[in-house]
């Protein structure tokens, strides 16, 4: 018994000395279309894990349904591929049960702001410590070019061939309007330095970090951000010492706007104003309560849990 304990301690010490590289987080080759923005997000996520030296066995990626939701399959970590729109409650359950884990949620515009909208709103309010990534290509790509909530008004799709009837939903504006929102940022898959810096800031945040990632679908919406890619001047970078600083983008993206991420009203105004594409940290406040702390309960052993369950079951016995 003593030998077993000693071996266990040596094994733990050995594991703690491991050094991880990007390749240690890479699963099977991604099957997204060539040129899909999902590839850029995947690379940035793997780079983040390597830089932060997150252990694969204590890192979890949760997704729902959609092109982006294949993400967990391509990560050599724990993963949960859930049903459509239910990624956030699954991730919340994981984090509440195992607060020691690093939890990431990957959703598309359908998974998050359509069928999953109810869960999205309450996940913001719960403010559980996790990173939520909205990969927004403004279309339902997996179901072959159907209008999504973020499709611009007038944009033609297979479900609305005369153009989308309604103004597009603004995920940033919606998130900033929810009680207890503690981290809201926007980045773009074609600006990899800013994308990585944003993911790093989101992971460092204590609370629910919501990141909207603008991305192109090369098959169905290749024109969606074509002008922004060709003309960096139409992009504004939110700049502040407490904001997101991305190395090497100043020479290309010269338009900056000073914004204090603690100013919620200013963040809402910037999110509502659609005159420019803005990348950066709109809001962050770590003083907001986190659900896993406010509802913390005493830990029970497996035997205690079984006794409680059996007692509850006995109360329904006929």
Rounded average pLDDT over 178-190 = 97
> Which pLDDT does position 297 carry in this prediction?
66
The structure tokens 């607060």 sit at 99
pLDDT in tens, 102-150: 999 999 988 889 888 899 999 999 999 999 999 998 878 777 777 778 8
Query: Residue 96: which of 294, 308, 314, 273 has the closest Cα?
Result: 294
63: β partners = 81, 106
pLDDT tens digits for range 48-96: 999 999 999 999 999 998 888 899 999 999 999 988 889 999 999 999 9
**What are the tens digits of pLDDT across the range 31-61?**
999 989 999 999 999 999 999 999 999 999 9
β-partners of residue 186 are: 212, 280
Both tokens assigned to 84: 């459509």
Decide if 238 contacts 217 (C-beta within 8 A). no
What domains are defined for the chain?
22-314 (3.40.50.970)
Residue-wise pLDDT for 18-34, tens only, equals 999 999 999 999 999 99
The two tokens of residue 273 are 């104003």
Residues 6+ apart with CB under 8 A from 84: 64, 65, 66, 110, 111, 115, 116
DSSP designation for 75: B
Mean pLDDT over 236-251 rounds to 94
């Amino acid at each position: 018994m003593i030998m077993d304990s000693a071996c266990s301690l040596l094994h733990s010490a050995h594991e703690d000395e491991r050094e991880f590289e990007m390749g240690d987080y890479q699963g099977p080759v991604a099957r997204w279309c060539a040129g899909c923005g999902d590839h850029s997000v995947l690379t940035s996520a793997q780079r983040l894990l390597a830089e932060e030296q997150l252990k694969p066995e204590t890192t979890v990626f949760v997704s729902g349904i959609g092109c982006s939701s294949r993400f967990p399959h391509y990560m050599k970590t724990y993963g949960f591929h859930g049903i459509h729109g239910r990624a956030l409650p699954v991730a919340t359950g994981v984090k509440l049960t195992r607060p020691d884990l690093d939890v990431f949620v990957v959703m598309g515009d359908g998974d998050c702001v359509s069928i999953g909208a109810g869960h999205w709103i309450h996940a913001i309010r719960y403010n559980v410590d996790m990173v939520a990534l909205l990969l927004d290509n403004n279309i339902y790509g997996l179901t072959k070019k159907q209008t999504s909530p973020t499709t611009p008004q007038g944009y033609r799709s297979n479900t609305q061939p005369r153009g989308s009837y309604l103004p597009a939903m603004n995920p940033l504006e919606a998130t900033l309007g929810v009680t207890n929102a503690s981290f809201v940022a926007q980045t773009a898959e074609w600006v990899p330095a800013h994308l990585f810096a944003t993911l790093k800031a989101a992971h460092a945040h204590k609370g629910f970090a919501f990141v909207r990632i603008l991305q192109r679908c090369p098959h169905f919406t290749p024109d969606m951000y074509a002008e922004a890619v060709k003309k960096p001047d139409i992009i504004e970078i939110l700049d502040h010492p407490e904001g997101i600083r991305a190395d090497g983008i100043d020479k290309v993206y010269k338009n900056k706007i000073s914004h204090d991420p603690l100013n919620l009203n200013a963040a809402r105004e910037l999110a509502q104003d659609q005159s420019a594409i803005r990348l950066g940290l709109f809001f962050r406040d770590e003083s907001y309560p986190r659900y896993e702390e406010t509802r913390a309960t005493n830990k029970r052993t497996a035997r205690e849990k079984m006794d409680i369950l059996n007692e509850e079951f006995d109360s329904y016995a006929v």
